[in-house]
Structure 1
């Protein structure tokens, strides 16, 4: 059962669902909660592009993502580029609630795809790493604390 706005609000109020920071007026939707970009984003180092022919889980290049920070003027995601962005919010849900992660439609209209949308496990705790890919022919600008995805909460027995 997907929770509605009033149910989500009540579970946040009693501390069963934890979202920090949380701005009810800005983030609470009729059946979801918006999450925003933090100031942190990650990419593979540009200087290694000529050397990188394939990414392999056993390859040490998997552990060399560069961390950068989003300035007040934002970051530009170039066409056909892939970045990782941490969520601004820390989320914690109990064992009887799973979370579905879905991108905001306004990003879809710009050609920015959330690659890792789907279910987060029951009892999830932490920030969400958002994997974003620009499918557009034009660059897309992102800002820190910009709503990019939404969380739907599902209660199970």
Structure 2
């Protein structure tokens, strides 16, 4: 069941859902608007010109109030908000239609697990022929929350728990856990 603004406001007031910082008009009828944070990360060039999933990927991270996303460029960004989801709530990351119409795609994996705590890393791609200026604090997307039928048996406690800032891929850790 997708949660309404009334339910979201009640959960925020009761402290069972935490979103900080949050201003009242971010709460929409069936979602919460998310704003762009001020850290951006791009994959550093590698000597081989190739990325593999067995080794840690190196990123160049900057803190800035704006970032110029060039045509056909990919950048990691973060939400301004920090989230703390209870064990019986999940969320979906969705882009804003008005930004998609400019050619800005939010390529997020799209899923926030129950029990997640942290800022959400967003994968942004400029499909336009023109550069797009990204500004911290601007509404970039929305979270749609859904209530689970019961609390999860194993709340999220993975490699991105507690993340702050634009956090690069940690897929190489999957390989270490499989050895």
Question: Structure 2 length as normaliser, TM-score?
Answer: 0.79
Match of 2:41 in 1: 42
CA RMSD in angstroms comes to 1.4
Q: Is the 8 A contact 1:102 1:118 kept in 2?
A: yes
Look up the SS of the partner of 1:88 in the other structure.
strand
Separation in structure 2 between the aligned mates of residue 110 and residue 140 of structure 1, nearest angstrom: 8
What residue is the counterpart of 1:31 in the other structure? 30
Structure 2, unpaired ranges of 5+: 150-179
Alignment counterpart, residue 102 of structure 1, candidates 94, 99, 117:
94
Question: Which residue matches 1:66?
Answer: 60
Query: Is the contact made by 1:102 and 1:117 (CA closer than 8 Å) also made in structure 2?
Result: no
- In structure 2, what is the equivalent of residue 10 of structure 1? 10
Structure 1 stretches of at least 4 aligned residues deviating more than 4 Å after TM superposition: none
> What secondary structure is seen at the aligned counterpart in 1 of 2:28?
coil
- Specify the alignment match of 1:54 in structure 2: 50
Unaligned runs of 5+ in 1: none
Structure 1 residues 117 and 58: alpha-carbon distance in aligned structure 2, compared to 1, 3 A threshold: closer
State the secondary structure of the residue aligned to 1:75. strand
Following superposition, the deviation at residue 53 of structure 1 comes to 2.2
| Count of residue pairs the alignment pairs up | 149
Q: Deviations for 1:79-137, whole angstroms, at most 9, x for unmatched residues?
A: 10000011110001111111111111121011011111422111221110000011111
CA distance in 2, matches of 1:132, 1:86: 10
Superposed counterparts of 1:134-149, under 5 Å: 134-149=126-141
Give the Cα–Cα distance (whole angstroms) in 1 for the partners of residues 96 and 109 of structure 2. 11
Tell me the SS of whatever aligns to 2:101: helix
Residue by residue over 1:26-46, the C-alpha shift from the partner in whole angstroms, topping out at 9 and shown as x without a partner, is x1111100111111111123x
Match of 2:148 among 140, 150, 156: 156
Contact 1:35 1:151 in 2 (8 A): yes
